[in-house]
């Protein structure tokens, strides 16, 4: 196994004007979708925000950093020939592991169970917090947005995402314990700023699974907006409703806008992407051409029938 070179190199490649490669084209904005709680809507948000940015014709790379590979299977990618782990440890070029999707502007860098090993192996690697940043350096000049779906912990993989990202987007489930754990997450972000990524920004908090008819959901929304403010680096104006179609789409191997474009979930994620684009305008451009790797198994999983 050959892990990446020194993190200092990666920093050089990424920082400054953001102009790597193509002259004049801004480097991709890398957004880490982070919350150490499971089941709050990270993967749903990463998948559907990435798809919605792609639908607006912004070249987008979705990076699946969770060993559970839910973002990968959400696109019907079952057994990728190469996965993020192979890129991280230098066994594959980023381009070889990246898979195109039904959306012309969206590519996926898939995860697999090997990634669970990285959490442990990284501990002994030099510049261990910079390995993802190094791995993604090649993608910066090619994409407008890189959306990173993080695992439900604040371990090595999430630290790597925070060190590689320009900004953090935090999905918050609007339920009673929503704010629990948020202080620790904000502490971690502060620590990453101090140690590895001084320019890391807060992209904002997205309220997920909002049920406006429920008093509790409304109270939580009011409290979170009261505390962090709306817009800017605070809470996105757009919140994501609880919508059964959002939970059905992954079993069909599709993002919501290809599964049911008229659903409230699809409308919400398209609005979230618009809100993000208003903050960080990017001209429309095509992503790099990618053939589907012949040895990658792609199929639509059978609908589960329980939805």
Ligand X SMILES: Nc1ncnc2c1ncn2[C@@H]1O[C@H](COP(=O)(O)OP(=O)(O)O)[C@@H](O)[C@H]1O
From residue 205, alpha-carbon distances to 32, 54, 171, 178, 235 in Å are 12, 21, 6, 11, 5
Q: How far is the CB of 47 from ligand X (least distance, A)?
A: 8
| Total binding residues toward Mg ion, as defined by CB under 5 A | 3
Q: How far is the CB of 271 from ligand X (least distance, A)?
A: 13
Site for ligand X in 14-73 (CB under 6 A): 38-44, 70
Nearer Cβ to ligand X, position 80 or 265?
A: 265
Using rule CB under 5 A, residue 37 touches Mg ion: no
Q: How far is the CB of 120 from ligand X (least distance, A)?
A: 21
Closest CA to 122 of 97, 92, 85, 147: 85
What distance in Å separates the CA atoms of residue 185 and residue 169, rounded to the nearest whole number?
11
Query: Which of 208, 217, 239, 251 is in the footprint of ligand X by CB under 6 A?
Result: 208
What distance in Å separates the CA atoms of residue 58 and residue 285, rounded to the nearest whole number?
6
Using rule CB under 5 A, residue 43 touches Mg ion: yes
Structural contact between residues 85 and 95, judged by C-beta atoms closer than 8 angstroms: no
From residue 64, alpha-carbon distances to 27, 46, 87, 158 in Å are 20, 9, 12, 11
Structural contact between residues 132 and 139, judged by C-beta atoms closer than 8 angstroms: no
| Total binding residues toward ligand X, as defined by CB under 6 A | 17
- Of Mg ion, ligand X, none, which one sits near residue 173, judging by CB under 5 to 8 A according to partner kind? none
Length of the chain in residues, anyone? 307
Nearer Cβ to ligand X, position 43 or 60?
A: 43
- Of Mg ion, ligand X, none, which one sits near residue 39, judging by CB under 5 to 8 A according to partner kind? ligand X
- Of ligand X, Mg ion, none, which one sits near residue 14, judging by CB under 5 to 8 A according to partner kind? none
What distance in Å separates the CA atoms of residue 170 and residue 152, rounded to the nearest whole number?
12
Using rule CB under 5 A, residue 42 touches Mg ion: yes
Q: How far is the CB of 38 from Mg ion (least distance, A)?
A: 7
What distance in Å separates the CA atoms of residue 28 and residue 13, rounded to the nearest whole number?
13
Quickly tell me which residue has 């907006």 as its tokens.
225
Q: Between the CA atoms of 297, 300, 301 and 302, what dihedral angle is there, to the nearest 10 degrees?
A: -140
Quickly tell me which residue has 């990453």 as its tokens.
192
Nearer Cβ to ligand X, position 40 or 125?
A: 40
Using rule CB under 6 A, residue 255 touches ligand X: no
Q: Is 100 helix (H, G, I), strand (E, B) or coil?
A: strand
Nearer Cβ to ligand X, position 92 or 174?
A: 174
From residue 158, alpha-carbon distances to 13, 67, 73, 172 in Å are 21, 12, 20, 17
Nearer Cβ to Mg ion, position 37 or 42?
A: 42
Helices (H), 24-155: 42-55, 70-73, 84-88, 94-97, 114-121, 131-136
Query: Which of 107, 242, 252, 282 is in the footprint of ligand X by CB under 6 A?
Result: 242
Site for ligand X in 147-176 (CB under 6 A): 152
Using rule CB under 6 A, residue 128 touches ligand X: no
Between 44 and 73, how does the x/- string for binding to Mg ion read (CB under 5 A)? Answer: --------------------------x---
**Residues contributing to the site for ligand X (CB under 6 A):** 38-44, 70, 152, 208-209, 240, 242-243, 246-247, 265
Q: Which residues bind Mg ion (CB under 5 A)?
A: 42-43, 70
């Amino acid at each position: 196994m050959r892990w990446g070179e020194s993190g200092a190199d990666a920093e050089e490649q990424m920082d400054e004007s953001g102009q790597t490669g193509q002259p004049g084209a801004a480097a991709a904005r890398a957004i880490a979708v982070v919350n150490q709680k499971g089941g709050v809507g990270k993967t749903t948000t990463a998948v559907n925000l990435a798809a919605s940015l792609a639908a607006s014709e912004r070249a987008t790379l979705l990076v699946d950093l969770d060993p559970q590979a839910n973002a990968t299977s959400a696109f019907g990618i079952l057994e990728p020939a190469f996965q993020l782990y192979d890129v991280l440890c230098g066994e594959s070029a980023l381009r070889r592991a990246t898979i195109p999707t039904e959306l012309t502007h969206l590519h996926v860098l898939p995860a697999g169970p090997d990634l669970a090993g990285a959490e442990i192996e990284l501990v002994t690697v030099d510049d261990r917090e910079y390995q993802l940043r190094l791995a993604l350096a090649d993608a910066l000049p090619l994409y407008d947005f890189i959306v990173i779906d993080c695992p439900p912990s604040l371990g090595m993989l999430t630290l790597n995402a925070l060190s590689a990202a320009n900004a953090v987007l935090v999905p918050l489930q609007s339920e009673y314990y929503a704010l629990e754990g948020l202080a620790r997450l904000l502490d971690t972000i502060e620590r990453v700023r101090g140690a590895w990524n001084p320019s890391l920004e807060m992209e904002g908090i997205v309220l997920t699974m909002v049920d406006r008819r429920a008093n509790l959901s409304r109270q939580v929304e009011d409290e979170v907006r009261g505390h962090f403010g709306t817009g800017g680096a605070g809470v996105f104006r757009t919140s994501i409703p609880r919508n059964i179609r959002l939970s059905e789409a992954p079993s069909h191997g599709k993002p919501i806008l290809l599964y049911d474009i008229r659903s409230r979930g699809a409308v919400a994620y398209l609005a979230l992407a618009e809100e993000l684009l208003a903050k960080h305008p990017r001209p429309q451009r095509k992503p790099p051409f990618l053939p589907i790797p012949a040895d990658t198994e792609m199929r639509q999983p059978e609908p589960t029938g329980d939805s």
